[in-house]
Amino acid sequence: MIKRRDFLHQGAMGATALLLAQKIGWAAAANSTAADSRIEVLFDEPLGTISPTIYGHFTENLGGVLYDGVWVGENSPVPNIDGLRKSLIEHMRQIKAPVIRYPGGCFADTYDWRDGIGPADKRPRRTNFWANSESKDAPPDHSFDPNQVGTNEFVHFCKLIGAEPYLAANVRTLPASAFQQWVEYCNSPAGSTTLADARAAAGYPDAFGVKYWGVGNESWGCGGEFTPQEYAEQFRRYATWLPAYGDTLHLIASGPNTDDWNWTRGFLTEVLLKGPEELNSIYGLALHHYAWDMSRGKTTDWVAAKGDALKFDSVDWYELLRQGDRMEGLVTGHWQVMSEFDPEHRVKLVVDEWGPWYRPGSEATPGDLFEQTPTLRDAVFSGMTLDIFNRNPEKVAMANCAQLINCLNSLYLAHEDKFIVTPVGHVFDLYASHQGGQSLRTIFSAPTLNYDRDGSPATFWGLRGSASVRDKSLTITVVNPSVSEPRLAEIALRGATVSDASMRFLSDADIHAHNTFAQPDAVVPQTKLLSVSGGTLAIEFPPASVAAVSIQLS
């Protein structure tokens, strides 16, 4: 049996019937005018400001993420800005991408940042951490890192987008001094140090001012197989007396895998042996949660339990959402454990890897490791997850969807001159107006969904989402997880009045709908103007949909 941690340690109803049912269900319910659901937004119950960085991204040096995804090279016929894929930059500007994590992932704990600076033609080639997992179809630069993308190129990419860089340091195979020097290279002012001069000589006289630094990655697994106590000792060595150059460094400690409460408890116990002030050096604790176990209790094997990205039935649809929906309990559960040690909650949660993880087979570019084709199911999953973060603004300071392009829950798929936005990418566009908004407690009431899980009755909630307000603009994002039933919801604003409203949403009669290089616009947001009568609003949310309602308040 393969477990996820072992895998990482090694480094290495039929569709037609369902479609019919959906169409019948949708048409039948669309004729009904009685609301079956209700969304109440409580303006006098603010939950906190939604940190823009929960809409963050992740680009690991893995498969086709960097080489072919982000980087095409300066001499490429593919439109680029200094070697970086232009269409990607433009789309990321549009969704207001706030932060990007790099260079891993597991890759980070083998990476020497010094390989990626200096003249590009003098940089060494190295065996990539993921080389053993690469297939024969993969291009050589996926297994053997050409180091054409290094710190300069990555930070330049972030600055072109207007995003903050989040660099993950190598704890497993480099000493703490290498981390300190990476900070120095990035942040020391021109003329102050040899490393600052090296940066300036490469064309970057202004300090990068990198604020977010990860101290290792998955240190319970590929990042060193540490116990939480051992890792806490490492963390202290890496975090002590770091040069800050006037900026506050936000250090992110490697945190738990899913529901590993022992990791959170063990790490904080050990850190606090040196006293409560040790908490001041930790900005965030990184939680990772992937939805990968689609076996319905038949196995917990990391490979065998995976489902297919494109071939699934309605039960698989709900099971994936159920796996993702665990996120709320993970956020509140780890927060609860953290409160035992840090009652003032100086340390926040940083969910720096999240998303579904399917078995190989749906790659847009054959040979791209961990690439999968996101469908409408993944869009609904992603909306649901972002809503969980929106509802917990005081707990979650940052989150990074795994990953940005050509890997797992990709917002974009690209190969050579081909580039498409996936349904997940469209969700980030729909949700962008939540960034920096005041999250409001919102009550969703809807009929519970019932389905048959291999002969046993199972349920899933009927409608959920989140709401935030900024000035006179209210955004309510709503997920209808039902594969067949629309939901007609009355919107009740407690403490404000609607003036105008419109909605953008993703949905399709086929729950498998997805975009491809040949059909890039099969799933795109649709817009609906909503009629407000007498200050009240009722909205129909199609089956299998994720929606963003924009309301102007009077």
Of 60, 278, 319, 353, the catalytic one is: 353
Mark the segment that binds ligand AHR (CB under 6 A) among 101-109, 192-200, 371-379, 470-478. Answer: 101-109
Nearer to ligand AHR, 8 or 420 (CB): 8
Q: Is 218 one of the binding residues for ligand AHR (CB under 6 A)? A: yes
- In one-letter notation, the amino acid at residue 539 is I
Window 375 to 414, contacts with ligand AHR (CB under 6 A): 402-403, 408
Q: Report the C-alpha gap between 103 and 73 in whole angstroms.
A: 18
Nearer to ligand AHR, 353 or 485 (CB): 353
Count of chain residues binding ligand AHR (CB under 6 A): 11
Window 21 to 60, contacts with ligand AHR (CB under 6 A): 60
Q: Is 371 one of the binding residues for ligand AHR (CB under 6 A)? A: no
Among 105, 116, 266, 486, binds ligand AHR (CB under 6 A): 105
SS3 labels along 337-357: HHHHHCCCCCCEEEEEEEEEC
Nearer to ligand AHR, 223 or 266 (CB): 223
Minimum separation from the CB atom of position 371 to ligand AHR (A): 11
Q: Report the C-alpha gap between 510 and 508 in whole angstroms.
A: 5
Look up residue 124 and give its two tokens. 């060494």
Three-state SS for 82?
coil
Nearer to ligand AHR, 217 or 515 (CB): 217
Window 165 to 204, contacts with ligand AHR (CB under 6 A): none
353 noted as active-site residue: yes
328 noted as active-site residue: no
Three-state SS for 110?
helix
Minimum separation from the CB atom of position 492 to ligand AHR (A): 41
Q: Report the C-alpha gap between 319 and 408 in whole angstroms.
A: 18
C-alpha count within 13 angstroms, C-beta hemisphere, residue 330: 28
Q: Is 109 one of the binding residues for ligand AHR (CB under 6 A)? A: no
Look up residue 446 and give its two tokens. 């809807």
Among 106, 291, 388, 493, binds ligand AHR (CB under 6 A): 106
Window 53 to 72, contacts with ligand AHR (CB under 6 A): 60
> How would you label 332-359 residue by residue, b for 16+ Cβ within 10 Å and e otherwise?
ebbbebbeebbeeeebbbbbbbbbbbbe
Nearer to ligand AHR, 403 or 477 (CB): 403
Minimum separation from the CB atom of position 257 to ligand AHR (A): 8
Q: Which residue's beta carbon is nearest to the bound ligand AHR?
A: 105
Q: Is 424 one of the binding residues for ligand AHR (CB under 6 A)? A: no
Q: Report the C-alpha gap between 356 and 422 in whole angstroms.
A: 14
Contacts of 305 (CB under 8 A, 6+ apart): 292, 293, 294, 295, 298, 299
Q: Is 325 one of the binding residues for ligand AHR (CB under 6 A)? A: no
Q: Is 353 one of the binding residues for ligand AHR (CB under 6 A)? A: yes
Q: Is 8 one of the binding residues for ligand AHR (CB under 6 A)? A: yes
In Å, how far from its chain's centre is CA 49?
19
User: What strand order describes the sheet that includes 473-480?
Assistant: 526-530, 498-506, 545-553, 473-480, 464-470, 438-445, 37-49, 487-494, 537-541
Q: CA angle, 478 as apex, 429 and 329 as ends, to 5°?
A: 100
Phi, psi of 178 (to 5 degrees): -65, -35
Minimum separation from the CB atom of position 231 to ligand AHR (A): 14
Nearer to ligand AHR, 290 or 335 (CB): 290
Indicate the length of the chain as a whole number: 554
Among 61, 217, 258, 392, binds ligand AHR (CB under 6 A): 217
Q: Report the C-alpha gap between 211 and 270 in whole angstroms.
A: 25
Minimum separation from the CB atom of position 140 to ligand AHR (A): 20
Q: Report the C-alpha gap between 316 and 335 in whole angstroms.
A: 30
Which positions are catalytic? 218, 353
- Provide the binding-site residues for ligand AHR, judged by CB under 6 A: 8, 60, 104-106, 217-218, 353, 402-403, 408
